[in-house]
Structure 1
């Protein structure tokens, strides 16, 4: 039995892809007789993933600490790691720029067991362009936290060759040993009533066809481009709606609603919030296409979920798996600009029914061949076992 400790800032599913991937990998490993426990910086009183098969230890401070809340400083993390890390064969650190990275760098440096790091896209140059002053602060942090953490890792794990290429030289000095591992998500489970559950969750949609965005509503995701592009093409197919589903932690939905209203499309653009369970799988399976015009995406768990549903994906070339999607004919790709997003929607609307059906079949085949979570779990476990043998 291989025993892994995963360090991740939060086990809250609302935080996005990293915890979803960690959760699914841990479930598969448990079925294979291995174990993945988690150390999080959630407050101890929070309880996430109640059905997770490993132990989840939460050591974080209370919520509501203002600017420090996102950093999640936890004074108990380093003593806990020094006391318990030796019970594991390896440690995985998921993410950078939070205290989880700093604490891991300090507690694990030069000590057993070996550790591995997933940057999860956090070394992408988009962040430097989008927030140059924050990049300066990150460079300072790199010298005393992230840089030593990555330099001491047995391997820094990228989820695609595209992500590894973009990260090259992101900060100085850039010293690390990298590896690309398979990544993905679980296959969709359906009891046959998930599409009905979704439509009941968005009653204003009725039985109309729709395009779907599903994920965190965040500036990097290009939701503003999507609303504008949909407004530009909406007259081409008056029967088609747009659903933008996901948590809005930074308060963007109000502005998106206003843009929809100004375009005269308030009745055709829907914001149901975060979808989970059968409503989520129903949305993915019922959508005419999944759309993600993101400015930065190291992988895109929601893209893989849409492919699992057999739904074509319309994505920007800043989604790191765009080459695989394009090669398999599983969707369409364009630049992460307004013109590029309009082009995505226009080309899809120009597809005839046979072309759309072929794209659906290709989407499902792409998921099965490349992004099934079983492949990801085996790829990661085998890499770790080779490194610690």
Structure 2
């Protein structure tokens, strides 16, 4: 069986969906499935390791919707080569192109919204939401309604998606999601991180590992950390991730105002051994997001035994709480401060119990091999 995945970009700097495609398809070979990814990346764009994939790059799309004049025709010419098509993400041209190219064919397609139907966006960006409503009526609703299934990563995402737009009549399916532990992840050590940042070796590291973006609650984290940092001079915050909106300068100003600039290390985007070394060096991973569909980095932290501190707006918070693999708080300044303080107030025995639960939580809830099986079984049934 051959499955075509269509995504606007496979670059890891674009966030979770690109990593999710890699993780999901890494298990296809064991199920006799051949994966291909069609992407609007240029031939010289750095995409990292894609050895298990056939990657077809059409080149950059135009404008905010990434319109590509050759996409529909390419799909019409080649779609018969695949048993099904999986679209990743909403609000861009590639999803509409799949709908347009396949609506008169017998090739089914599926859509992963990747959290892009979360009602948080409606409240946080009302003007953008109004513009999206126009696109919803013009194209996006038809893309979803005519798909074989809209694929959700957890029950929470499915329920929240119903609150964003009307009309909303789609075939819902929860296939789960997660990550996979590569040989690099298994073999990396905290020293892979300390080699570059030796001054942090004896620090108690709180690690943020995600995009520097407003929805991630970075400002809350810095302010909350400033309030609890005075309790222990060994506490240190590592902010690891790409700054795609230019917000880091404002965040650094906040740190200066709170006189904790020297207690924060900004690494930019980190990959491979450096990334996994940072996760293993951290006492805890923290993500106080205002909206997070899944949070692959949360699952990655759990997989290598690092407890997680997350907001209740990270859609997998129930699973974390159920398995006692971390702590959950509100996505407010007060909530973030309480979250950090709650960890510090735990006894060493209580911290060890949570740490011991992390890997079990990953294996039971977030091992993406099961998500891959769920997806392929759904495709085969249909």
Equivalent pairs counted in the alignment come to: 381
Is 1:112–2:112 an aligned residue pair? Answer: no
Q: Distance in 1 between matches of 2:290 and 2:51?
A: 32
Q: Distance in 2 between matches of 1:42 and 1:192?
A: 31
Aligned to 2:234: 239
Q: Distance in 1 between matches of 2:42 and 2:352?
A: 47
Is 1:197–2:197 an aligned residue pair? Answer: no
Aligned to 2:340: 345
> 1:218-237 counterparts in 2 under 5 A?
218-237=213-232
Aligned to 2:95: 101
Q: Distance in 1 between matches of 2:43 and 2:136?
A: 28
Aligned to 1:294: 289
> Could you report, residue by residue, the CA deviation over 1:11-57 in whole angstroms, capped at 9, with x for unpaired residues?
10111111111112212112433111011111244252453322211
Deviation at 1:94, TM superposition (A): 0.4
Q: Distance in 1 between matches of 2:15 and 2:379?
A: 24
Secondary structure of 1:39's counterpart equals strand
* RMSD after superposition: 1.5
- Asked if structure 2 preserves the Cα contact closer than 8 Å seen for 1:95 and 1:120, the reply is yes
Q: Distance in 1 between matches of 2:101 and 2:132?
A: 21
Aligned to 2:37: 38
Secondary structure of 1:310's counterpart equals coil
- Asked if structure 2 preserves the Cα contact closer than 8 Å seen for 1:188 and 1:305, the reply is no
Q: Distance in 1 between matches of 2:273 and 2:50?
A: 17
**TM-score, normalised to structure 2's length?**
0.96
- Asked if structure 1 preserves the Cα contact closer than 8 Å seen for 2:119 and 2:163, the reply is no
Deviation at 1:110, TM superposition (A): 3.5
Is 1:376–2:379 an aligned residue pair? Answer: no
1:340–1:188 CA distance, 2 compared to 1 (3 A) = farther
Gaps of 5+ in 2: none
Aligned to 1:14: 13
> 1:327-366 counterparts in 2 under 5 A?
327-366=322-361
Q: Distance in 2 between matches of 1:305 and 1:341?
A: 21
Is 1:259–2:258 an aligned residue pair? Answer: no
- Asked if structure 1 preserves the Cα contact closer than 8 Å seen for 2:294 and 2:316, the reply is yes
> Could you report, residue by residue, the CA deviation over 1:246-301 in whole angstroms, capped at 9, with x for unpaired residues?
01111111111121122111111110111110111111112111100000011110
- Asked if structure 2 preserves the Cα contact closer than 8 Å seen for 1:13 and 1:20, the reply is yes
> 1:176-187 counterparts in 2 under 5 A?
176-187=170-181
Deviation at 1:192, TM superposition (A): 5.0
Aligned to 2:279: 284
Secondary structure of 2:262's counterpart equals coil
Q: Distance in 2 between matches of 1:183 and 1:322?
A: 14
Secondary structure of 1:157's counterpart equals strand
Q: Distance in 1 between matches of 2:199 and 2:243?
A: 20
> 1:312-331 counterparts in 2 under 5 A?
312-331=307-326
Please, which moves more after superposition, 375-384 or 86-95? 375-384
- Asked if structure 2 preserves the Cα contact closer than 8 Å seen for 1:205 and 1:268, the reply is no
Q: Distance in 2 between matches of 1:50 and 1:185?
A: 15
Secondary structure of 1:369's counterpart equals helix
> 1:129-208 counterparts in 2 under 5 A?
129-187=123-181, 189=183, 190=185, 192=187, 194-208=189-203
Aligned to 2:210: 215
Aligned to 2:121: 127
> Could you report, residue by residue, the CA deviation over 1:153-172 in whole angstroms, capped at 9, with x for unpaired residues?
11100001000110104212
- Asked if structure 1 preserves the Cα contact closer than 8 Å seen for 2:301 and 2:308, the reply is yes
- Asked if structure 1 preserves the Cα contact closer than 8 Å seen for 2:190 and 2:276, the reply is yes
Secondary structure of 1:267's counterpart equals helix
Please, which moves more after superposition, 289-298 or 168-177? 168-177
Gaps of 5+ in 1: none
Q: Distance in 1 between matches of 2:76 and 2:187?
A: 48
Aligned to 1:60: 59
> Could you report, residue by residue, the CA deviation over 1:97-143 in whole angstroms, capped at 9, with x for unpaired residues?
11112212211224221010000000001111111111111011011
1:60–1:314 CA distance, 2 compared to 1 (3 A) = same
